[in-house]
Amino acid sequence: MALHLFRSQFTSSLKQLTRSLSGISIPSIKCGVSEMPVVGLGTWQSKPGVVGAAVETALSVGYKHIDCAHVYQNEAEIGESFAKMFGEGGIKREEIFITSKLWNTFHRADEVEAACDTTLKNLQLEYLDLYLIHWPVALEPGKGTLFPVDDDKVSMMDTKSPSFAETWGALEKLVESGKCKNIGLSNFNIAQIEEVLSFANIKPANLQVESHPHLPNLELLEYCKKQGISFVAYSPLGNPGSEYRHKKQVDLREDEDLVGIAEKHGVSTGQVMIRYQIDKGNAVIPKSVTPSRIEENLNVFGFSLDAADVETLNNLYKKVGPKGWRTCAVPHYKHSPFFPFASEMK
């Protein structure tokens, strides 16, 4: 579909979507010094040419939370949409919670601020509400690519192996300078979070990880609650249609238990999985570029799951294995000493 036709389709849907979702009040959770709306738009795997229209749709229908990252390679287009919506769109920047992430090739202290500045420039923002270390794994910088590999096509780990303390200290300076309101972590395990907490002057405000009924991450969630760290679930539907899914991976949307819960509440299985995160006290960032699905993903405040529903969903992972099923397992990083999922490979 031509880009102008695609954008026209989005634009023609906005009035109807805005009317149907008007009046929705989106709850929030505490995230450091800020309040984070519990439903946000994820932009991972949203391709250039469509991601901007998706962001405009989301903001038009009432989303107050947009999740971004440098490595998604679509922040410049998102920035154009922010400029439009915060200008002629009449939306106030300060009412939108915007997250981005520090990529793995920028973990050295002297790389961090420049990486953040690039994101701010691309997104056309003066500050971020939340800036996360995207992965605990540091890759070799200065190779002209976000995914450096050696002659054998093996991911190149940073030869200086910057410590978490080095990277975190540089992020703390971004808070002090006003470029970031909050800082946090993504894809870190409990031991790695413990290490950061041992030296942090500014406590991590947030942890963002993959979480869905095939990978509920209950132990990690409980740990974050005890530490007062907010929890954001990415890939809450288990990444349906993603190129990263294993060919044998079961589509959660077709699980009979999930279908039963959805029928009981008169909603879709996708809405059940989003509400599952909210009812556990989490924020959740489902990704979509389809106007009707963007609307559906936000329209989850007219019902709640009961204790039996949550218990069923908490145990759904057992259908696919004792440790569940992680879609974003990044096995190409397994040779790094900072690989966060080593225990799952034993």
As annotated, the active-site residues are 72
Question: Is residue 337 a contact partner of residue 286, using CB atoms and an 8 Å limit?
Answer: no
CB atoms within 10 A of CB 65: 25
**SS3 (DSSP) at 196:** helix
**CA nearest neighbour of 336 among 148, 195, 144:** 148
CB atoms within 10 A of CB 55: 27
287: left (phi over 0), alpha (psi -120 to 50) or beta: beta
Q: Name the one residue in this structure whose structure tokens are 């080095």.
A: 166
Q: Rounded CA gap, 98 and 94, in Å?
A: 10
Strand partners, 39: 284
Sign of torsion over alpha carbons 255, 256, 262, 266: positive
Give the DSSP letter string of 157-172.
Answer: B-TT---HHHHHHHHH
Distance (Å) of CA 123 to CA 1, 7, 83, 126, 173: 26, 19, 8, 9, 20
Q: Rounded CA gap, 206 and 185, in Å?
A: 6
**What is the H or E stretch that residue 232 is in?**
strand 230-234
321 Cβ contact list (under 8 Å, min separation 6): none
**CA nearest neighbour of 82 among 48, 59, 62, 65:** 59
Q: Rounded CA gap, 168 and 155, in Å?
A: 23
Q: Which residue type is seen at 162?
A: P
**SS3 (DSSP) at 3:** helix
